[in-house]
């Protein structure tokens, strides 16, 4: 791994069990390297394996072949293949933010609580107790900056799709992760809302100085990235 | 046709995917149906037995009684009957009854003029419990029918000084039957003496009300009381007790059956909540499929019919399973009540009908309402304000039911039902309120999250309601039974504090000075009198303090005062401080009622007086009837054992008070075995309901679980969310059940028991009565967590 890479995938091959009992290969010898602070778009058609790559990086899927190594600034590199489920959970709590296409927010928590949740989980993971502290203060500042503070005590059901995605971006960055993964974050939105969410995403990533890997099949979104990796 | 087949196929495949839910529904309804069927069969059997016991002489409805009754009175009444004075009356039968001791056991002997019963009372053997018999021998010899439990295995029996031929055995323990002359000889009674005259009525023309009553009696055996016939005219100086009044145990049994039937219905309500919840969940899961079918042109009404059809199939299957389970349950419980042995109960058409009606009704109603809610969503739910108003109206009805004694048991159970319905109405509002309040709770989000889920998930409300209802019932009934047990034990401690009891004649045979000096001897008397116009027992002792010590330890009794049993006082509204008229030996004495005393387990009217007053009332007729002997306490109980050995050596029959106590407690436990079993069934159904609701919620909230995983929540943390959710649901149900359960217990102790039986006892919230329902809630939560986790993974 080069000294400057924050994320490196080497020789990733991944199969899914098909209904007939045969394996269906979605990735073969996939390689990727991302430098700290870089924004990379993973561009490809549906079924090309974009979500699988993101899930492997997030530690949501077990690595079958190859290796994923993440090197958060100031910390030792983490080789995900060696981690068990609990360790991968701890890794996500500390270093990963994730934005989905939909179902991003927990319905029974308010906007403010949704944003505080990763902070609480991270704090609990560090056995420090408490929920938030400085992390929440800066997240609340971002809510103010984005004009979303009036939504703080509302439940997700009362928000529009665009508002939910913007809140999801803030939630994903609340605990200052080294790496933000976004899986088609605008796939469920109209054009105007899509542009607003992408604006917020890039603005917040820049603000947090976070590295981002975004899966998309939108040319417009891909064009905003520092680099585009095409698969499939 | 093809389209219809495919629509059905789509629904069938969906049902197969939801097999676990369907099985839960089937199981839950089957248990509820089993409760209903079990209660019906038990009630029918107990009612049959009680009816037979209450009617030793077949279809006699009323007894005519007066002081000094003799054959002359009987012949006079028969003359008036033949003169056409009472056209409703079919016949009269002279009756003499009394008690004798045979082989150390008390035997009730009834004698009658069998020729006078030719109208058909006695030969109705099925109703009276007597076998077909040889008329000629019964009329010409000293012959008798013995009870089935008397251990005399010969053709002859010695009763007192009389040897009688044994013609056969009846069905009722402790009861023998003979003709009048034989009975007089056996009882050593005066010639021409009678106890009462039985009245047989012509069958009355059946009115619509009678037919309705018969229908209800068949549908709810033991619950619908028989009506007493109108008193015969022109007999103002006669007492005319009905069979029911003459056998207070019948009233007691009916009250118990009423309670049990109410419990059976509770299981059905809980099962309905379970079914509605499962049906709603099943239909919501397939809502998208139903929407697509509607988009393809399938009418919503047709889909609704199909959903209802699915409910009907579920209902029929569950009903049949419940019918068999209930049949077995009733036999098992009856066997337990009788102290063992195989029991085979007849499965009547009413039981089958009730099973199908209950099971199918619950399933159809659950499915219909759920399908309607999913296919035709209402424009607006019942508004919160209206729920509060309705709950207030229900609580008003409860107050009316409790405050007006005239509403009887129905008023008391109406109050309980109103409380339950008010809880169900208010529960969603409470949950929504909790969700709102939780916005300011300083809890960790991983704790707050599951709490909010149970408050905001509509599918959980039914499950929580079912569990709250069953927990409240279990808590209420359990507390009532525990309170009764405490009060009953206190009574037994006082009444049975001595070692043995002897009949007065046996004690005289023994001789007062034959006993060791340390044996305490308490002489008690019990003589029949009329008190406040009712037959009563006058109780007294050689030493007043010894009487109080056994019957009313906390009471005081001054000269001119009486203590009366609580049920006697309640039935005639005789209050402490009031006056009581006691008639005996042709004179009337007025005494002041000092207080009531507890006298559980009997409906006899008892009056306690001091010895001086007893002498004033009974004069020369004052008789002591029993002597209690107490050898005093020793650590090893050897003094009592020595006393018993002494009496046994003298071949004196005695009543071992310790055995009486054991038997009394055994009967108490057997009596409440049905209650415990039905409460446990309701709890089981409710636990199933909660489990289904929580599993459904876990499946529905799988996106939340996925998000938590993405956010880095550990497996243990996610399991904790499930456990907190289940525990919170059980906790909410328990919190709601606590006030309702205590309310039910209080109504049962202070309203239902006084109205049904005439006695009351203080409510005791014992750890045991509270603990079992809480344990059930905890187990339901634990099972739900494990099943949810298993289904999630």
What pLDDT digit, counting tens, does each position of B295-306 carry? 666 777 777 777
Res A97: pLDDT: 92
Task: Flag whether residue A4 sits within 8 Å of chain B, measured between CB atoms.
Answer: no
Task: Give the confidence band of B227 by pLDDT, cuts at 50, 70, 90.
Answer: low
pLDDT of residue B130: 61
User: Per-residue pLDDT averaged across B215-222, rounded?
Assistant: 68
CB contact under 8 A, B707 and A131: no
> Is the per-residue pLDDT at A1 higher than 70?
no
Instruction: Please say whether the beta carbons of B275 and B29 come within 8 A.
Output: yes
Of B444, B704, B712, the CB nearest to A90: B712
Residue B180's pLDDT band (boundaries 50, 70, 90)? confident
Alpha-carbon span B713 to B468, nearest angstrom: 32
Q: How far apart are the first and last CA of chain A?
A: 25
User: For residue B220, what pLDDT band results from cuts at 50, 70 and 90?
Assistant: low
Do the Cβ atoms of A30 and A12 come closer than 8 Å? yes
Of all residues in chain B, the one with the smallest CA distance to A110 is: B439
Q: How many CB atoms lie within 10 A of CB B441?
A: 12
pLDDT digits (tens, 9 = 90+) for A19-33: 666 778 889 999 999
Mean pLDDT taken over chain B: 79
pLDDT at position B205 is 66
User: What is the mean pLDDT of the segment spanning A147-164?
Assistant: 88
**Does the structure show a pLDDT above 90 at B634?**
no
Query: Which one has a higher pLDDT value, A102 or B619?
Result: B619
More reliable by pLDDT, B547 or B757:
B547
Q: Is the pLDDT of residue B246 over 60?
A: no
B-chain residues within 8 Å CB-CB of A85? 715
Burial class (CB in 10 A: 0-12, 13-18, 19+), A227: exposed
- ipTM score here? 0.83
User: In a mutagenesis test of the B interface, which of A106, A122, A156, A175 is the best target, namely the one with the most B β-carbons within 10 Å?
Assistant: A106
pLDDT value of position B320: 92
pLDDT above 90 as % of chain B = 11
* Residues B423, B462: Cα–Cα separation, whole Å: 12
pLDDT confidence of residue B121: 45
Q: Provide, as residue numbers in chain A, all residues whose Cβ is less than 8 Å from the Cβ of B448.
A: 109, 113
Contact of A80 with chain B, judged by CB distance below 8 Å, is answered with no
What are the chain A neighbours of B445 within 8 Å (beta carbons)?
109, 113, 116-117, 120, 131
| Nearest CA among B147, B140, B167 for reference residue B155 | B167
Q: A96 and B446 in contact by Cβ < 8 A?
A: no
Which of A46-50, A137-141, B53-57, B748-752 has the lowest average pLDDT? B53-57
Q: How far apart are CA A80 and CA B460, in angstroms?
A: 39
For residue B435, the chain A residue with the least C-alpha distance is A108
- The pLDDT tens digits of the residues spanning B637-649 come to 678 888 888 888 8
The pLDDT tens digits for B435-454 are 888 888 777 888 888 888 87
**pLDDT top residue among B127 and B27:** B27
Q: Tokens 């009362």 label which residue?
A: A158
Check residue B312 and give its pLDDT. 85
What is the number of other CB atoms lying within 10 angstroms of the CB of residue B201?
Answer: 18
Q: B380 pLDDT band (50/70/90 cuts)?
A: very low
- Residue scoring higher pLDDT (B60 or B172): B60
Q: How confident is the model at residue B669 (pLDDT cuts 50, 70, 90)?
A: confident
- Residue range B392-416: average pLDDT? 88
Is pLDDT at B378 greater than 60 in this prediction?
no
Q: In chain A, which residues have their Cβ closer than 8 Å to the Cβ of B715?
A: 85-86, 89
Instruction: Assess A87–B contact: CB distance below 8 Å, yes or no.
Output: no
- Tell me if chain B has a CB within 8 Å of the CB of A125: yes
Instruction: Kindly indicate the confidence band of residue B254, based on its pLDDT and cuts at 50, 70 and 90.
Output: low
Do A110 and B446 make contact, defined as CB atoms within 8 angstroms?
A: no
Q: How far is A24 from chain B (nearest CA, A)?
A: 23
Interval B113-152: pLDDT, tens: 877 665 544 444 444 556 665 666 666 777 777 776 666 6
Chain B residue with Cα closest to A91: B712
A136 inside 8 A of chain B by CB:
no
Query: Residue A128: pLDDT band by 50, 70, 90 thresholds?
Result: very low
Nearest to A89 among B435, B452, B712 (CB): B712
Greater pLDDT, B678 or B31: B31
Residue B522 pLDDT greater than 70, yes or no: yes
Neighbouring CB atoms inside 10 A of B562's CB total 25
pLDDT at residue B780 is higher than 60: yes
Q: Which residues of B204-237 are buried (b: 16+ CB within 10 A; e: fewer)?
A: eeeeeeeeebeeebeebbbbbeeeebeebeeeee
Residue B698 has pLDDT above 50, yes or no: yes
The C-alpha atoms of residue B641 and residue A103 are separated, in whole angstroms, by 79
* Average pLDDT, integer, range B387-411: 88
CA nearest A115 in B: which residue? B445
pLDDT of residue B7: 62
Measured in whole angstroms, how far is the alpha carbon of residue A54 from the centre of its chain?
8
Q: Is A83 on the interface with B (CB under 8 A)?
A: no
Highest mean pLDDT among A58-67, A111-120, B190-199 belongs to A58-67
The confidence score (pLDDT) of residue B591 equals: 95
By CA distance, what is A114's nearest residue in B? B445
Q: Give CA–CA dist A119/A110, Å, rounded.
A: 15
Q: How many CB pairs under 8 A join A and B?
A: 72
Considering only CB atoms, B703 lies closest to which of A103, A109, A120, namely A103
Determine the pLDDT at residue A71: 93
User: Sorting pLDDT into bands at 50, 70 and 90, what band is B362?
Assistant: confident
Over residues B425-436, the pLDDT tens digits come to 888 888 888 888
Chain B interface with A: residues with Cβ < 8 Å: 435, 439, 444-446, 448-449, 452-453, 456, 701, 703-704, 706-715, 717
B445 → closest Cβ in A103, A109, A125: A109
Across residues B738-757, what is the average pLDDT? 87
Q: Is the model's pLDDT at B38 over the cut of 80? A: yes
Q: Is the pLDDT of residue B551 over 80?
A: yes
With CA atoms as reference, the chain A residue closest to B707 would be A104
pLDDT number for residue B131: 62
Which of A169-183, B8-22, B118-132, B296-310 ranks highest by mean pLDDT?
A169-183
Chain B CB contacts of A182 below 8 Å = none
B94 vs B82: CA distance, rounded Å: 16
**Are A94 and B710 inside 8 Å of each other by CB?**
no
Full-model pTM: 0.71
Contact A111, A156 (CB under 8 A): yes
**Which residue in A58, A89, A106 is closest to B449 by CB distance?**
A106
The pLDDT of residue B706 is 83
Please, which residues 50-79 of chain A have a Cβ atom closer than 8 Å to chain B? Answer: 58, 60
Does position B244 have pLDDT exceeding 60, yes or no? no
Among residues A21, A11, A130, A104, the alpha carbon closest in space to that of A66 is found at A11
pLDDT at position B46: 74
Q: Closest approach of chain A CAs to the CA of B376, in angstroms?
A: 22
How confident is residue A181, by pLDDT bands cut at 50, 70 and 90?
very high
- pLDDT higher than 80, residue B307: no
Q: d(Cα B358, Cα B220) in Å, to the nearest integer?
A: 13
Confidence grade of residue B257 (pLDDT, cut at 50, 70, 90): low
Query: B694 CB contacts (<8 Å, ≥6 apart)?
Result: B460, B463, B725, B726, B729, B784, B785, B787, B788
Say if A176 is an interface residue toward chain B (CB within 8 Å): no
Residue A126 contacts B, CB cutoff 8 Å: no
The nearest alpha carbon in chain A to B704 belongs to A106
Q: What are the DSSP calls for B384-415, one per residue?
A: HHHHHHHHHHHHHHHHHHHH-GGGHHHHHHHH
Q: For strand B587-597 and strand B561-565, is the pairing parallel, antiparallel, or unpaired?
A: parallel
Nearest residue on chain B to A154, alpha-carbon basis = B439
- Greater confidence (B639 vs B217) lies with B639
pLDDT at B562 over 90: yes
Separation in Å, CA of A144 to nearest CA in chain B = 20
Query: How distant is the Cα of A172 from the closest Cα of chain B, in angstroms?
Result: 8
The CA-CA-CA angle for residues A36, A42, A48, to 5°, reads: 145
Q: Does A218 touch chain B (CB under 8 A)?
A: no
């Amino acid at each position: 791994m080069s000294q400057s890479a924050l994320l490196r995938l080497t020789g990733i091959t991944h199969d899914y069990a098909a209904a007939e009992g045969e394996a269906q290969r979605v990735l073969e010898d996939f390689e990727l390297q991302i430098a700290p602070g870089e924004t990379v778009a993973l561009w490809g058609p549906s079924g090309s394996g974009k979500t699988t790559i993101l899930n492997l990086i997030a530690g949501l899927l077990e690595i079958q072949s190859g290796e994923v190594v993440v090197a958060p600034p100031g910390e030792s590199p983490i080789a995900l293949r060696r981690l068990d489920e609990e360790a991968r959970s701890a890794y996500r709590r500390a270093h990963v933010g994730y934005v989905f296409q939909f179902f991003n927010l927990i319905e029974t928590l308010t906007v403010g609580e949704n944003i505080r949740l990763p902070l609480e989980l991270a704090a609990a993971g560090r056995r420090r107790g408490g929920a938030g502290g400085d992390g929440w203060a800066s997240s609340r500042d971002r809510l103010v900056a984005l004009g979303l503070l009036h939504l703080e005590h509302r439940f997700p059901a009362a928000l529009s799709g665009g508002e939910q995605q913007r809140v999801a971006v803030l939630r994903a960055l609340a605990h200052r992760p080294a790496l933000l993964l976004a899986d088609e974050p605008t796939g469920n939105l109209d054009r105007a809302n899509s542009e607003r969410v992408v604006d917020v995403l890039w603005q917040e990533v820049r603000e947090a100085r976070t590295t981002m890997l975004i899966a998309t099949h939108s040319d417009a979104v891909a064009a905003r990235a520092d680099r585009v990796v095409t698969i499939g | 046709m093809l389209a219809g087949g495919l629509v059905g196929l789509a629904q069938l495949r969906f049902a197969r995917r939801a097999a676990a839910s369907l099985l839960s529904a089937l199981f839950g309804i089957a248990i509820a149906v089993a409760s209903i069927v079990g209660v019906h069969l038990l009630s029918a059997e107990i009612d049959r037995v009680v009816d037979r016991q209450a009617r030793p002489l077949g279809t006699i409805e009323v007894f005519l009684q007066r002081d000094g009754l003799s054959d002359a009175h009987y012949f006079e009444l028969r003359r008036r009957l033949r003169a056409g004075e009472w056209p409703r009356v079919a016949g009269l039968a002279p009756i003499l009854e009394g008690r004798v001791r045979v082989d150390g056991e008390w035997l009730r002997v009834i004698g009658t003029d069998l020729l006078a019963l030719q109208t058909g009372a006695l030969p109705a053997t099925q109703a009276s419990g007597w076998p077909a018999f040889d008329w000629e021998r019964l009329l010409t010899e000293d012959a008798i029918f013995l009870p089935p439990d008397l251990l005399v295995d010969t053709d002859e029996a010695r009763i007192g000084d009389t040897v009688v031929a044994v013609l056969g055995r009846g069905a009722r323990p402790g009861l023998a039957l003979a003709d009048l002359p034989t009975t007089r000889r056996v009882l050593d009674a005066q010639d021409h003496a009678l106890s009462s005259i039985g009245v047989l009525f012509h069958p009355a023309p059946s009115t619509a009300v009678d037919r309705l009553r018969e229908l209800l009696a068949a549908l709810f055996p033991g619950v619908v009381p028989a009506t007493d016939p109108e008193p015969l005219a022109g007999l103002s100086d006669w007492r005319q007790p009905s069979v029911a009044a003459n056998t207070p145990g019948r009233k007691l049994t009916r009250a118990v059956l009423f309670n049990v039937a109410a419990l059976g219905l509770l299981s059905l309500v809980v099962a309905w909540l379970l079914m509605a919840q499962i049906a709603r969940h099943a239909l919501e899961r397939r809502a998208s499929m139903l929407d697509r079918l509607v988009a393809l042109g399938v009418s919503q009404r047709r889909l609704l019919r199909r959903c209802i059809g699915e409910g009907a199939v579920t209902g029929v299957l569950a009903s049949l399973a419940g019918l068999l389970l209930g049949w077995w349950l009733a036999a098992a419980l009856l066997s337990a009540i009788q102290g063992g042995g195989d029991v085979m109960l007849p499965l009547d058409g009413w039981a089958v009908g009730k099973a199908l009606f209950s099971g199918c009704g619950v399933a159809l109603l659950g499915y219909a309402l759920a399908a309607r809610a999913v296919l035709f969503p209402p424009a607006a739910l019942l508004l919160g304000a209206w729920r509060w108003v309705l709950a207030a109206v229900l609580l008003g009805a409860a107050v009316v039911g409790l405050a007006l004694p005239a509403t009887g048991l129905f008023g008391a159970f109406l109050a309980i039902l109103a409380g339950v319905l008010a809880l169900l109405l208010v529960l969603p509002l409470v949950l929504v309120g909790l969700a709102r309040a939780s916005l300011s709770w300083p809890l960790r989000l991983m704790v707050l999250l599951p709490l909010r889920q149970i408050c905001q998930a509509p599918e959980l409300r039914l499950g929580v309601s079912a569990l709250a209802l069953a927990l409240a019932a279990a808590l209420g009934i359990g507390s009532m039974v525990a309170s009764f047990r405490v009060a009953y034990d206190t009574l037994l401690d006082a009444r049975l504090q001595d070692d043995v009891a002897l009949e007065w004649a046996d004690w005289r045979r023994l001789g007062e000075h034959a006993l060791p000096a340390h044996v305490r001897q308490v002489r008690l008397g019990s003589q029949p009198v009329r008190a406040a116009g009712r037959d009563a027992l006058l109780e007294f002792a050689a030493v007043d303090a010894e009487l109080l010590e056994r019957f009313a330890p906390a009471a005081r009794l001054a000269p001119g005062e009486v203590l009366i049993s609580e049920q006697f006082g309640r039935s005639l509204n005789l209050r402490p401080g009031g006056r009581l008229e006691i008639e005996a030996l042709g004179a009337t004495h007025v005494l002041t009622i000092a207080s009531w005393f507890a006298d559980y387990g009997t409906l006899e009217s008892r009056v306690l007086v001091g010895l001086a007053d007893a002498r004033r009332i009974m004069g020369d007729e004052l008789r002591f009837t029993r002597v209690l002997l107490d050898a005093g306490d020793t650590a090893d109980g050897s003094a009592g054992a020595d006393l018993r050995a002494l009496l046994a050596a003298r071949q004196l029959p005695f009543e071992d008070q310790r055995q009486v106590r054991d038997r009394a407690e055994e009967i108490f436990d057997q009596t409440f075995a049905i209650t415990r079993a039905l409460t446990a069934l309701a709890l089981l159904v409710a636990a199933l309901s909660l489990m289904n609701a929580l599993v459904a919620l876990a499946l529905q909230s799988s996106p939340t679980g996925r998000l938590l995983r993405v956010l880095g929540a550990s497996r243990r943390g996610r399991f904790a969310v499930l456990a907190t959710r289940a525990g919170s649901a059980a906790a909410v149900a328990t919190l709601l059940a606590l006030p309702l359960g205590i309310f039910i217990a209080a109504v049962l102790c202070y309203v239902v028991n006084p109205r049904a039986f005439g006695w009351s006892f203080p409510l005791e919230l014992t750890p045991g009565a509270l603990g079992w329902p809480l344990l059930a809630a905890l187990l339901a939560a634990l099972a739900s967590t494990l099943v949810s986790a298993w289904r999630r993974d």
